[in-house]
Amino acid sequence: MSKRVALEGKLPVGAIDTRASGWWAMIFVVFTEASLFAYLLFSYYYLAVQPHLPGTFPEGGTPDLALSLPNTIILLLSSAAVAWAQFNIEHNQKWRLVLGLGVAALLGIVFLVVQYFEWAAKSFTLASTSYSSLYFVVTGFHMAHVVVGVLMLIALTLWSAMGYFNRFRYAHIHIGALYWHFVDAVWLAVFFTFYITPLLGLKA
Amino acid sequence: MLPSVCVAKAVAASSAPLNYLTSFGAKADATRPLTWGVTLISLAVIIIITLLVAGAIWRRPGLAPMAPGARIDVGPESGGLSWLWIGVGISSLVLLLSIVWTVSVLAEISRPGVKPALTIEVTGKQWWWQVRYLSDDPSRIFATANEIHIPTGQPVLFKLVGGDVIHSFWVPALAGKTDTIPGQTNETWLEAREPGIYRGQCTEYCGLEHAHMSLVVIAQSPSDFAAWEAHQIQSPAMPVGQAATGMSDFNMHCGSCHAVRGTAAAGILGPDLSHLMQRTTIAAGTLPNDPGHLAQWISDPQGIKPGALMQKPELSGQEFAAINAYLRTLQ
Amino acid sequence: MTATDYERAPTVAIEDRNSALAEKLQALWETEPGFIGWLSTVDHKEIGIRYIVTAFAFLIAGGIEALVFRLQLAWPDRHLLGPEQYDQLFSTHGMTMIFLYAGPVLSGFSNYLWPLLLGARDMALPRLNALSYWIYLCAGIFLYAAFAIGFGPNDGWFNYVPYAARAYNGGPNIDFYSLGMILLGISTTVGSINFIVTFLRMRAPGMSINRVPILAWGTLTASAANIFAIPAVSLAFFLLWMDRNAGTHFFDVPSGGQPLLWQHLFWMFGHPWVYAIVLPAMGMVSDGLPVFCRRPLVGYTAVALGTVATMILGFGVWVHHMFATGLPSVSLSFFSAASIIIAVPSAIGVFAWIATIWLGRPVFTTAFLFFASFIVLFVIGGVSGYMTGSLPVDWQLTDTYFVVAHLHYVLIGINVFPVVGATYFWFPKFTGRMLDERMGRWNFWTMFVGFNLGFFPMHISGLLGMPRRIYTYADGMGWDWLNLITTVGSFVFAVGVLIFIVNVVVSYRRGRVAGDNPWDAPTLEWATTSPPPPYNFVVIPTVASRHPLWEDRLGEKSESQPHAGLVLDHGREAVGTDPLDAEPDIILKMPSDTLAPLALAIATTFVFVGLLGHWWWMVAVAAIATGAAIVVWLWPRPELGETAEARNV
């Protein structure tokens, strides 16, 4: 019979806040995906400083802010909704959690729709020039991340409504929120690169 | 046929024509001591470390391999850090000195001593070298292929143009290599000390016949070079007899890819053949340039260089003989 | 619910392998028997063995490819292979060795060993672990399918544009390579995430960060590098696939693209990758060699920091693969200097190993032979790298056989030799049996002599100007005898590898029984049985030094408790500890066997198959299946402690 010695000191059990393995995993998912966008934007800047015929980089002139700026605000608001949801689950407010996540998902869908219209209005296609290739591929990668994020937010909304989480066990929420905030932050870098740097003089 | 060249000077390189442990020009001359230096330092490091490892292993009698479950003495954790301090310290010193030497050689070879008087444009193509001698006077610009002549004792500027995929221009006896990359023009310079034949080869994997993309740089005294250049600028003499028939056959079957100065053949997809017979090799250094090999090449390029962009020409026996006769007049 | 509903104070007990506790743990942790169990296991030991076996299978394939083209190159102007065949063989050889052998074999050893070395029950993310293996296997099959149908990669492992573009390479070869590499990158990335989280969160109580085995430092460093580096190459291949299939213009010049963009993206990954495939192996030597010198490693802290420093510097040297591309000399000089200075942290390791042998008492086992000879091979590979780091010298050396010599000394010398040595060292732990020592001697000497005979002459043929990647060469270049010797040496080396495999196969059944600790070694993996039970340790060890099993003989107070500690038996459980001091801060619920990783790997692979063939319906269906598999996998489960329900706390 094994000798058992009792130990003082309780330990939490399960996926508890930032001690959950999934949380740490998501941190490094964010690092690797951030690196991906760093290399995408490196490609943009590398090609931008090469010689181009005037007016071809950006093609069709500096891209319009009319849709992209409001869209940026929409994405920032969705992050705020997620942050509000996180605050609420820490205070055991289940339905506010559900509301926050749901609103964030909806705003994410609005972002996608607006960007679709922006894409459709472009005078160039994927295969026009190096600039057009960059535009669609970089914003396309971001869109793909938003799609994944929206699906994730829908799942979280569903699971929250089903009552899975409370103020002690909600690791999924924090992990998903981290991903969503990352997607938002990356958009700021993409937005700056494509829409602001030509205004600052980086153009052919 | 061959220009008057002091071939003996190339003897040192001829047993290993692409070696760079010997050098025959300013850039390679400056690099060679550094190459030998880092080689000897490396050999010394290998010998020292091997002796240290061997000494460490055999300085005391070893222990027999333990039977599973046996317990053998264990030495203390302390000690030995002086090995790191000394070893890493000496290594760092040698490395820093190497960096200083590297940078000083780099400064010496990045620009020639005087502004080059001659500029040659080389375009890397699958799988041959297009060569154009540039000049401010348009009538003095001429094209050739795979064999480059330069005057001794002065730097020559090379503009390296990317033709299709990436190739790399390398004549080790004279200088290190520089790539030809589409979308940019790289520059290098070569200077040969004395007359000789210096071999080169493409050194960036470029497809099927990367192995057969050589070139030759022939350095001549300035007067010999001037004579060669003047001859290259002239169109070849008009052929007569069978060779004249050969010329019209050539223009019809070969002229869409190849050019001969002063004739109707003006193709740019393949090497310029104006003074073909002056060259020491054909097919980018693959074959010696003599009538037998020339005929062999024309009759079956794919057999010699499978994948080469020259397809087997569809020629009757008469046309084949006539074209060969014509080409032999392109002195 | 209150906080206490989700807490418990675990009991502490002394290890008893015959107790009811041990039986209970066995039932909780063992893999289900049968085929379904084999497909659904998340046991790091099984996954580790699979990685090693699969990687060795690729090593043999890559080796045979090399032997065939060495026959072609044995003498000038041979006609055994035409250029197309040669180009596919050398490209597939490089891809196989660098991506399908060198990284995965180290992942395999690390996967098996880490939880045991760190005193844990499993890796932090067992299902992710299984996923990384299955995707690796699928990617390897995907890539080799190309070769099998005659469309293997043919532009080298480095795949430069424009030759890789559709205009010059019209077949599907490069599409196979591009998509297969992106798929493989997913495996490597999730595997790296697992290692990092495990290092930070799964160490035994008391295993503070300065008590972690060097193998863990090596793999951690490589994994962190992969996180930042792999996206570069995945992106490069994706952009190339887009240029080839969607008409984009990232690399073609007329529409504003740049060939050098490929080289930058590729080498920003490629250089860190070559450190990622040697640093864990160096760690294995740092952990194994001291056992056969009967004293702890000299300069542990310096070696650990040197490992990290090498990797960080490794991100700053990638342009040395592009020295001949015509970039401005000023920027090239910076990279030249960095490429020379990076030898300094490597020197730390070399002198630490020599000092350990010098101050210790060598035990002449086969493992020792491999670990000791590795030091010399490491230095030979290192100095040839130093030579190519000097910019003017590199302008002569680059793209010649000198670089081929260098890369084989560093890859075979710093990866293969340590891996074989590590096999002799840890095979008893994996299987419970010793490898045969006499066969081991033959193994070592044929590999050592064959390797040096094969590859040392390449330094010389390189200095004599022999270019790389040529399918034949003329006579009279001074290379004839060197190539013949190289070919002979490579076959001798292959015999050595064969002896190794025979030794493994024979000893698996008939080797001498090993027991827990046949080498009288100091670290935690030797505190449990050989092979270990599925749950690794009956009770979780606590650690107070780098060498828990040697403490009594080192005159240290015996504070580590390899055989006493926390009882964790309310289901599959492990203890999570804080990253610096490894104090317990949570009891983690670990997942049981599941088919979700395999399903996800297959679904993801079919996305890529669909992309390859432009079968968009397949892409759509597979993408939906991928999403479904992820949702099922991540569904909150009470038994994993992910929901409000306090089950089995």
Closest in A50, A151, A168 to C1, CB measured: A168
At A8 the pLDDT is: 63
Nearest to C326 among B65, B92, B181 (CB): B181
pLDDT for the residue numbered B6: 40
Is residue B257 within 8 A of residue B270, CB to CB? The reply is yes
B48-62, C255-269, C545-559: the lowest-pLDDT one? C545-559
Q: Are C181 and C157 a contacting pair, CB within 8 Å?
A: no
**Gap between the Cα atoms of A50 and B227, Å rounded:** 42
Give the pLDDT of residue C554. Answer: 87
Q: Quick one: pLDDT band at residue C208, thresholds 50, 70, 90?
A: very high
Residues of C in contact with B16 (CB under 8 A): 464-465, 477-479
CATH, domain range C36-510: 1.20.210.10
User: Is residue C325 within 8 angstroms of chain B, CB to CB?
Assistant: yes
Which residues of chain C neighbour B301 with C-beta distances below 8 Å?
none
Tokens of B172: 């080790």
How much of chain C, in percent, has pLDDT values that exceed 90? Answer: 98
Q: Examine the pLDDT at C169 and tell me if it is beyond 80.
A: yes
Cβ-defined contact of C326 to B186 (cutoff 8 Å) = yes
- Inter-chain touch B178–C337, beta carbons under 8 Å: no
- Across the interface, whether the CB atoms of A47 and C576 are under 8 A apart is answered no
Res A5: pLDDT: 31
When mean pLDDT is compared across A144-153, B61-70, B279-288, C125-134, the lowest value belongs to B61-70
**Residue C14, SS3?**
strand
pLDDT at C45: 98
> ipTM score here?
0.96
Predicted confidence (pLDDT) at residue B1 exceeds the cutoff of 70: no
pLDDT in tens, C56-107: 999 999 999 999 999 999 999 999 999 999 999 999 999 999 999 999 999 9
Residue B115 has pLDDT above 50, yes or no: yes
pLDDT at B12: 43
- For C584, nearest residue in chain A (alpha carbons): A11
Among A16, A46, A130, the residue with its CB nearest the CB of C6 is: A16
Query: Mean pLDDT of residues grouped by 10 in chain A (204 residues)?
Result: 47 93 98 98 97 90 94 98 97 96 98 97 95 98 98 98 96 97 98 97 91
Which residue from C minimizes the CA distance to B39? C387
Residue C329 has which token pair? 């000399």
Total Cβ atoms within 10 A of residue C308: 17
Mean pLDDT of chain C: 97
Average pLDDT taken over every residue of chain B: 93
> Distance (Å, rounded) from C-alpha C161 to C-alpha B117?
34
CA distance B203 to chain C (A): 6
DSSP symbols for C383-410: HHHHHHHSHHHHHHHTTBHHHHHHHHHH
Contacting chains of C (3 CB pairs or more, <8 Å) are A, B
Cα B43 from Cα B37, distance rounded (Å)? 10
**Residue from the list C193, C231, C242 with its beta carbon closest to the beta carbon of A28:** C193
Using CA coordinates, name the residue in chain A closest to C253: A130
How many whole angstroms separate alpha carbon C593 and alpha carbon C97?
31
Average pLDDT score over residue span C144-173: 97
Contact list in C for residue B81 (CB cut-off 8 A) is: 298-299, 302, 355
What is the count of residue pairs from B and C with beta carbons less than 8 Å apart?
303
| Short-list B132, B123, B133, B129, CA closest to B199 | B129
CB contact under 8 A, C463 and B19: yes
Domain ranges of chain A: 17-48+69-196
Average pLDDT over residues C499-526: 96
pLDDT band for C461, please (50, 70, 90 cuts). very high
pLDDT higher than threshold 50 for residue C402: yes
CA of A35: which chain C residue's CA is closest? C228
CATH classification (class only), B118-233: mainly beta
Question: Mind listing the pLDDT tens digit for each residue in C545-564?
Answer: 999 999 988 887 778 999 99
- Give B210's contacts in chain C (Cβ within 8 Å): 467, 469-470
**What digits encode the pLDDT tens for the residues C268-288?**
999 999 999 999 999 999 999
Q: What number does CATH give the domain A17-48+69-196?
A: 1.20.120.80
**Contact of C112 with C48, CB cutoff 8 Å:** yes
Test the C interface: residue of B24, B47, B49, B92 with most C CBs within 10 Å: B49
Residue of A23, A27, A29, A39 to mutate, testing the C interface (most C Cβ within 10 Å of its Cβ)? A39
Q: What is the pLDDT of residues A15-65, one digit of tens each?
A: 998 999 999 999 999 999 999 999 999 999 999 999 998 888 999 889 999
pTM of the model: 0.96
Q: Is the pLDDT of residue B269 over 90?
A: yes
Weakest-pLDDT range from B7-16, C198-207, C532-541: B7-16
Show the 3-state SS of chain B. Answer: CCCCCCHHHHHHHHCCCCCCCCCCEHHHHHHHHHHHHHHHHHHHHHHHHHHHHHHHHHCCCCECCCCCCCCCCCCCCCCCHHHHHHHHHHHHHHHHHHHHHHHHHHHHHHCCCCCCCEEEEEEEECCEEEEEECCCCHHHCEEEECEEEEECCCCEEEEEEECCCCEEECCCCCCCCEEECCCCEEEEEECECCCEEEEEECCCCCCCCHHHCEEEEEEECHHHHHHHHHHHHCCCCCCCCHHHHHHHHHHHHCCCCCECCCCCCECCCCCCCCCHHHCCEECCCCEECCHHHHHHHHHCHHHHCCCCCCCCCCCCHHHHHHHHHHHCCCC
- Taking an 8 Å cut-off on Cβ atoms, the answer to whether A168 and C3 are in contact is yes
Mean pLDDT of the B182-189 span:
97
Q: Which residues of A touch C124 (CB under 8 A)?
A: 21, 24-25
Over residues C593-622, the mean pLDDT reads 98
Per domain, the residue ranges of chain C are 36-510
The second-level CATH assignment, the architecture, of B242-327 is Sandwich (2.60)
Write down the domain spans for chain B: 118-233, 242-327
Selecting from C376, C519, C520 the residue whose C-beta is nearest the C-beta of B50 gives C376
* Å between C163 CA and nearest CA of chain B: 5
User: Contacts of residue C358 in chain B, CB cutoff 8 Å?
Assistant: 52, 55-56, 59, 80, 83
Nearest C-alpha of chain B: how many angstroms from C340? Answer: 6
CA of B160, closest CA in chain C: separation in Å? 10
- Contact: B80, C358; criterion CB under 8 Å: yes
